[in-house]
Amino acid sequence: MQENDYTLALQVLTPELILARLSNYNDKDIDSQVDRVNAFRRKNPKTPLFIINGVIVFLLMIKKGKLPNDRYLKLTLDTFTKEKKMTSAEDVIEFITKRKNDALVKKNEKQENRKNYVRNNIQVLDISDVMNVSESVVLDTHEKLLQIQREKLNQS
């Protein structure tokens, strides 16, 4: 899809359809979430549809397909309208795209930091060390078993 398609989708699709398409809710739970979205729309009648849709898309994206509580919905709406002063669907798409890219960069940095930590702080054991330890433990155990057998034979 082109950016214009996303812009148009934010402007014309219903929040219920977006929720049904993008969420991870099963058929049983989707109805209650649609009711929540409708109540959210009624509480914010002056908010343009593309902002409501943008909030839903954004939250479903960052919350792995689930809508957060109503307070979080309201805070996100305030971020879109008051803090970021989004006035067009293009603004919403730009914000969502930037946040998605930032999240990917952050995730990649975390993975790289983990790899570096392992490389720098965790030494891989040399297999010969493990084998030598195992061999000595086995020989020591074998000697002890032989000693116990000899003692039992001497006692009988």
Note whether 18 and 30 are within 8 A (CB): no
DSSP conformation class of 64:
T
- Provide the percentage of residues in the chain whose pLDDT is more than 90: 54
Note whether 103 and 62 are within 8 A (CB): yes
At 67, list the tokens.
């809508």
Contacts of 24 (CB under 8 A, 6+ apart): 64, 65, 66
Per residue in 64-101, pLDDT (tens digit) is 999 999 999 999 999 999 988 999 999 999 999 999 89
DSSP conformation class of 45:
T
C-alpha 18/C-alpha 9 separation (Å) is 9
At 19, list the tokens.
């929720």
